[in-house]
């Protein structure tokens, strides 16, 4: 297993999906919300960087690229803006440089290197093409690890104008990291928590 350990020693590439319009947040760029004294994306990227050779952003518009440019992260442009997270994930997989791609939405402040280590090890042992956590009965495909080979399935979904992440999961048939397994491994399952609304932000952000 090569994922755990010093930065740059593993086979993980980190990608933060930051192309959402943030409508439920009043159009605010969620990745720039202050969180623990830094923009939220900074918090996420620093945690991912402890395990990943590189961490990049996928955005939907040039405006988003400009807004987030000051963070100093490589930025990839989704060439199917408006198609939701599936097309952003497709870009991440299409341009992947490492054997495993750790994907996070830009509104998930509690990303966990421990969870990533465990899921990557479980994925390699399973032989599956992806691993997705299931917490409180829900799958969380935007806090998951994929092999770049999944790009064939994302491409097929998009070619059929299918934008649902669940359609991709149905095609990929991922290994599922169940909540009970995660807890047994000592993993805090809050790593799948995301911020959708101002109320979420007020409840989750440190005060």
Sketch out the chain's domains with CATH numbers. Answer: 12-204 (3.90.550.10)
Whole-number pLDDT of residue 207? 63
- Rounded to the nearest integer, the mean pLDDT of the chain is 90
DSSP element (H, E) containing 105: strand 100-105
Mean pLDDT of 114-139: 97
- Tell me the pLDDT tens digit for each residue of 167-179: 999 999 999 999 9
Q: Is the pLDDT of residue 5 over 60?
A: no
Listed range (80-84, 108-112, 123-127) with the worst mean pLDDT: 80-84
Q: Is the pLDDT of residue 59 over 50?
A: yes
SS3 144: strand
Q: Which residues contribute to the annotated binding site? A: 17-19, 30, 78, 107
Q: Which residues contribute to the annotated binding site for GTP? A: 17-19, 30, 78, 107
Q: Round to whole Å and give the CA distance between 78 and 89.
A: 9
* Closest CA relative to residue 112, chosen from 85, 88, 71, 140: 140
CA 39 → CA 34, 35, 36, 102, 166, distances in Å?
5, 6, 8, 20, 30
Q: Which residues contribute to the annotated binding site for Mg(2+)? A: 107
Q: Round to whole Å and give the CA distance between 202 and 181.
A: 30
């Amino acid at each position: 297993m090569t994922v755990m350990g010093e930065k740059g020693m593993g086979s993980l590439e980190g990608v933060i999906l930051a192309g959402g319009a943030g409508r439920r947040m009043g159009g605010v760029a969620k990745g720039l919300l202050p969180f623990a004294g830094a923009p939220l994306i900074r918090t996420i990227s620093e945690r991912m960087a402890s395990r990943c050779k590189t961490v990049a952003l996928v955005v939907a518009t040039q405006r988003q690229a400009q807004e987030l440019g000051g963070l100093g992260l490589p930025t990839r442009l989704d060439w199917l803006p408006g198609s939701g997270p599936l097309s952003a994930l497709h870009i991440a997989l299409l341009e992947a440089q490492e054997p495993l791609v750790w994907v996070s939405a830009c509104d998930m402040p509690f990303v966990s290197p421990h969870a990533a280590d465990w899921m990557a090890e479980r994925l390699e042992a399973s032989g599956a093409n992806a691993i997705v956590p299931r917490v409180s009965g829900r799958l969380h495909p935007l806090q998951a690890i994929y092999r770049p080979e999944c790009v064939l399935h994302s491409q097929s979904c998009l070619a059929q104008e299918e934008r649902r992440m669940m359609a991709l999961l149905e095609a990929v048939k991922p290994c599922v990291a169940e909540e009970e397994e995660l807890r047994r491994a000592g993993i805090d399952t809050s790593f799948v928590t995301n911020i959708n609304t101002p109320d979420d932000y007020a409840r989750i952000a440190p005060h």
